[in-house]
Amino acid sequence: MRDYGLLLGLTLRNRLAALRAGSWRKDNGKLDISRIVATVVVVLALGVTAGMIIYAEIMLFNVLKTFRQAALLPAMAVMLSMMSTLLLSFFHVLSGLYFSRDTAWMAYLPVRSRSVMAAKMTEVWMAEELFSAAILLPVFILYGIHLEAGVLYYVRMALIVLAAPMIPLAVIGVLTSVLARMTSLVRNKEAISVVFSLVMMLGILAVEGTLLPQIPDDADTMFFVGLLLDNEGILNMLTSAFPPVLWAVHGLQGNWLEFMLFVACSVGAMVAMIALLGGGYLNVCLKQTEQGTRKRKVKTHEGTWRQRSQLMTMFHKEWNGVIKNPTIAFNCLPSIFMFPLIIGMSAAGIASSMDMNVFLEEIQGLVGNISMLDLALIVAAAVGFACFMNPAVATAVSREGSRLEISKMIPVPVRTQMTAKLMVGMLIDLLAVLVAAVILLVLLPQQMISIILGCVLALGVCYACSALSLTLDAVRPNLTWTNEMQVVKQGANVVFGMLIGLALFILPVIPPLLLLEASPVVRFASAAGVIALEAAVGFVMVRTVAEKKFAVLEPAN
């Protein structure tokens, strides 16, 4: 336990270093206004998001109380929290356990392997707990007020909130450990890890789909009436595939046996995972830092060596840095799969209630009544929103970290290096748009021109977003990270990049909405004009601000 406490203290101090005294001051002792403003903006954004979530939960709770189904909202919140943790924490656990840069030196400390793994998992649990608490606490407090509960209710509530992420994290810990053992000492382990991780993510999505309640195909009106009249009918249907959710709800209601069962299963799952896999944890981590010993026999000849331009050389360097690092790839490439995922989940939901062919015919008939240019704007909004989240470019400078000194020494102009970083971000956006375009062309083959125009507009906004995000990262980079997760998932620049992208996608929507009475040509021209202006501003900011800031940027000590 002493080893565990010391290691956990070290990891938490590293994580909370930005909040230490003097962190808002520059090296000369003056206040860093940009950092203070950034902190205020992040706090306000989090406050607004929390307010929206609480408001939506209050509205839904009032509706459920009307139907005497108040217990349904806590069950939905627990299930959402656990399923979200199961899906979203996969990359966090994998990078935190097996691809963290501080794990290698921990292996040489006089500490036990299980202590290191326990400290790492506790750090991950604390980060995921913030997300779970944001979902669960408002709902549980509303439910406690509804029940007019006493003090013991809030004690049980606090323990359930603390235990909620543990079962999903234990499952993810087992999956990532299996993956790490499969890829250790294998050539190109990074690429293999990315491929297998995507396969596991698809498996997790499939499992989560089976956990959702299924309405029988022959369900009639009396089936739904019976569910509404039975106070726990919908609750039992919702939790039938995963009983711990029902244990948590009954625990809130005062059933101490099921409450203790939920807490014991949650804590026991985490302890069992660490006990089972912690013994060989450090050995696997060290193998991840080693290279395969098998040598490849390569015959060299005149055509083996290829000469590239400086720009393409830097582009390949940046691109390999994204796709060959599992942590960075997991967080920077999801936008490529976002649109197919949305379409796939929507199709699964529609297929359960009606015939897909009938639905497609109705959609094609509806789209046929919309003008070509208006449909292009709709496509641009849908495709653009699905791919605007691109941390690759919002962290392009920060990811240099301690390697910035090498980038400053190589005989390549600053403009070339910044252009290569921007090209990588745009390549990811281009792949996301192409995937979305193919899906739309399959669904709506008669609307090819509208789809192409919409995708072009979406790429224009993506360029503006990438350019401004790159500029922001060049102005205030984070070069002192020890784990890629800290910069690509937990960095402030990622949050600001998303806010910039959201604003840039909202602005072109405003003129067409104000010009509803005008012709489609006018609406399309107004949106295209705003997008062109955004792209021009982004281009100027990269050339006049980002390149100059990167040129004078000094490596972190």
Per-residue pLDDT tens digits for 144-165? 888 888 889 899 999 999 999 9
**Element spanning 200, H or E:** helix 189-211
Q: b/e map of 424-447 (b: 16 or more CB within 10 Å)?
A: bbbbbbbebbebbbebbeeebeeb
Instruction: Kindly report, residue by residue over 192-232, the tens digit of the pLDDT.
Output: 666 676 677 667 666 656 665 554 554 444 444 454 545 55
Domain boundaries, the chain: 2-214+228-288, 310-552
Which residue from 382, 542, 358 is spatially nearest to 447, judged by alpha carbons? Answer: 382
Instruction: Kindly report, residue by residue over 402-449, the tens digit of the pLDDT.
Output: 788 888 788 888 899 999 999 998 999 899 889 888 888 888 888 888
The pLDDT, as a whole number, for residue 351 is 56
For 496, counting Cβ atoms within 10 Å of its Cβ (0-12 exposed, 13-18 middle, 19+ buried), the class is buried
More confident residue, 95 or 223: 95
Instruction: Kindly report, residue by residue over 402-411, the tens digit of the pLDDT.
Output: 788 888 788 8
Alpha-carbon distances, residue 143 vs 70, 73, 83, 129, 161 (angstroms)? 7, 8, 21, 20, 14
Q: Is residue 70 pLDDT above 80, yes or no?
A: no
Average predicted confidence (pLDDT) for the chain: 78
